[in-house]
Amino acid sequence: MESVLIYDTTLRDGTQGEKINFTALDKLKIARKLDDMGIHYIEGGWPGASAKDWEFFRMAAEEPFKHTKMAAFGSTHKHGTSPEEDRQLRAVVESGAPVGTLVGKSWDLHVTKILGIPLEDNLEMIRNSVAYLKKNNLEAHYDAEHFFDGYKENPDYAAATIEAAVKGGADAVVLCDTNGGTLPHEIEKTIGEITGVIQKVTDRKVSIGIHTHNDSNLAVANSIIAVRAGATIVQGTINGYGERCGNADLTSILPILKLKMDYPCISDENLSKLQKVSLYVSETANMTPVNSRPFVGKSAFTHKGGLHVDAIMKEPRSYEHMNPELVGNKRRVLISDMSGKGNIKYKARELGFPVDENGYDYAAIVNRVKQLEQEGYQYDVADGSLQILMEKLTERFRPCFELESFRVTVEKEKDRPCHSNAVIKINVDGIEEITAAEGYGPVSALDNSLRKALNNVYGRALDQVHLVDFKVRVLDGREGTAAKVRVLIETRDEETIWSTIGVSEDIIEASWQALADSFQYKLARFVNGTNQV
């Protein structure tokens, strides 16, 4: 079976996604993670179009990558100029990357109506641009933009663009579903036909690649069917980041190819790094991770119903399609009003509590959890608070700090926004810490003040910890301003993400509960030397 090569374009195509922006240093750090995971190609950016990308390639040239080849992206030369005269094309060569990837038009609609040039001139631009890369000793990839749309409307011309790239010396031609509207059976049929076109043009090996977008929610499926049809290079992005609905998600493609289809695209050891890489990229992009993302999402191997939990305790594959540890994920069992003793026993074992002969009354624990959920708590969405609760109910909780008191003031002046201050007193092993801090609001001020106090005791343990999400829900609006509120806080560091909860008639009190649990949770792992969720 021929190997499938993975071509990551997170650093270029992924940055076209809404709200995603990387600095040159961000890109270099992500590239190191991708190289460590064994990715074959990393498309670093467009050096001819971006000063930031040019800076990235300058830094990447000094980086001792072990597994990956760096690719510089560009386009075919401008109409009316030669490759040597085209500044952007020269930048691909001068970037120092060993691979050059050029995008060109394969849909006659774009040639005549967007570029406004003769069809034959476009073919010449493709052929000459690829030849220019080969003349300068680069591995040349040709990205046939809008290929599948073009092939549907004018198959002869779309095929002619591939022929032009091959005649120019392309090492790989990548068929792009740029608009994301092609269906799997159309992908399969087209690749089979293009394979024949290439074989008629040359006897040398020319790899076929696939580049898909997710506008029809088929990017992963289209990438997989392309491999079955003969594609040996798969382009995609970590977490599927990209323009509009995103690109093909490598966090799904990699385990499918490796585990479901037995393609030797990545080692077992490197595949087990997948979830951490997914989280690292989302953290760097400042994007909230999608819990329901297949394979690497927090909820991908999560079980809630008592019958399901009872079954996976006996045989995990009864409700799981694979071992989550193969992609660096883990099985999770949720505790809620749907829970039975099996859920509690599993959770106790997961948290490291002795399960057998421990004297715990699991029925009493179940009843207490259900009672708290009646009061407004929701532990299936607050794993951090659940762990603290379980530790308390089994007399294993050792607080990293205890609250003595806090005071929050909010000041409003005419024509100026509200201003908040918080003073907090905590106790750590008999030592009192009193700190004050400002914030954009009362919870922000409390957060800042508590961090300052804890940093005095635990050093810089909380430097990489920050808020991802803050949600407030009124539980019963009929009570008006006296109604109970539920506050859910989601917090993360560079590698993990956790949720905590608070419930009270006072929004500040509820916020404090969730905030305190979040820091207790993190600090317990810091003190114990582990960062696992």
Q: Could you read off the pLDDT of 117-136 as tens digits, one per residue? A: 999 999 999 999 999 999 99
Could you tell me which of 153, 45, 34 has the C-alpha nearest to residue 99? 45
Asked if 421 and 388 sit in the same domain, the reply is: no
Asked if 125 and 258 sit in the same domain, the reply is: yes
Asked if 322 and 451 sit in the same domain, the reply is: no
Question: Does a structural domain hold residue 283?
Answer: no
Asked if 359 and 410 sit in the same domain, the reply is: no
pLDDT attached to residue 12: 97
Share of the chain above pLDDT 70, in %: 94
pLDDT attached to residue 87: 94
Question: Does a structural domain hold residue 68?
Answer: yes
Domain boundary among 266, 288, 316: 266
Compute the distance between CA of residue 295 and CA of residue 30 in angstroms, rounded to an integer: 20
pLDDT attached to residue 531: 47
> How large is the average pLDDT for residues 184-199?
97
pLDDT of 33 over the 60 cut: yes
Asked if 388 and 406 sit in the same domain, the reply is: no
pLDDT of 62 over the 90 cut: yes
CATH code at position 70: 3.20.20.70
Grouping H, G, I as helix, E, B as strand and the rest as coil, residue 151 is helix
Question: Does a structural domain hold residue 22?
Answer: yes
Asked if 324 and 244 sit in the same domain, the reply is: no
CATH code at position 503: 3.30.160.270
pLDDT attached to residue 532: 44
> How large is the average pLDDT for residues 48-57?
93
pLDDT, tens digit, for every residue of 135-175?
A: 999 999 999 999 999 999 999 999 999 999 999 999 999 99
Asked if 171 and 76 sit in the same domain, the reply is: yes
Reported as a pLDDT band with limits 50, 70 and 90, residue 533 is very low
Question: Does a structural domain hold residue 512?
Answer: yes
pLDDT attached to residue 263: 95
Reported as a pLDDT band with limits 50, 70 and 90, residue 95 is very high
Question: Does a structural domain hold residue 296?
Answer: no
pLDDT attached to residue 529: 61
pLDDT of 474 over the 90 cut: no
Could you tell me which of 292, 248, 297, 302 has the C-alpha nearest to residue 274? 297
Q: How is residue 248 written in tokens?
A: 């093909």
Q: Where is mean pLDDT largest: 181-185, 298-302, 480-484?
A: 181-185
Query: What does the DSSP 8-state code read for residue 325?
Result: G
pLDDT of 271 over the 90 cut: yes
What are the residue ranges of helices labelled H in 85-183?
87-94, 108-109, 119-135, 147-153, 155-167
pLDDT, tens digit, for every residue of 412-456?
A: 888 888 889 999 999 999 989 999 999 988 999 999 999 999 988
Domain boundary among 364, 393, 422: 393
Asked if 353 and 435 sit in the same domain, the reply is: no
Asked if 472 and 377 sit in the same domain, the reply is: no
Asked if 237 and 382 sit in the same domain, the reply is: no
pLDDT attached to residue 112: 96
Asked if 206 and 327 sit in the same domain, the reply is: no
Reported as a pLDDT band with limits 50, 70 and 90, residue 1 is low
The total domain count for the chain is: 3
> How large is the average pLDDT for residues 249-276?
96
Domain that holds residue 372: 302-393
Question: Does a structural domain hold residue 284?
Answer: no
pLDDT of 216 over the 70 cut: yes
Instruction: Estimate the crossing angle of helix 155-167 against helix 184-201, to 10 degrees.
Output: 50
- Lowest-confidence pick of 120-124, 267-271, 486-490: 486-490
pTM over 0.85: no
Domain boundary among 241, 266, 291: 266
Question: Does a structural domain hold residue 14?
Answer: yes
| Mean residue pLDDT across the chain | 91
pLDDT of 344 over the 80 cut: no
DSSP string, 426-482: EEETTEEEEEEEEESSHHHHHHHHHHHHHHHHHTTTTTT-EEEEEEEEES-GGGGGG
Question: Does a structural domain hold residue 427?
Answer: yes
pLDDT of 355 over the 60 cut: no
Asked if 501 and 449 sit in the same domain, the reply is: yes
- Residue with the bigger pLDDT between 466 and 217: it is 217
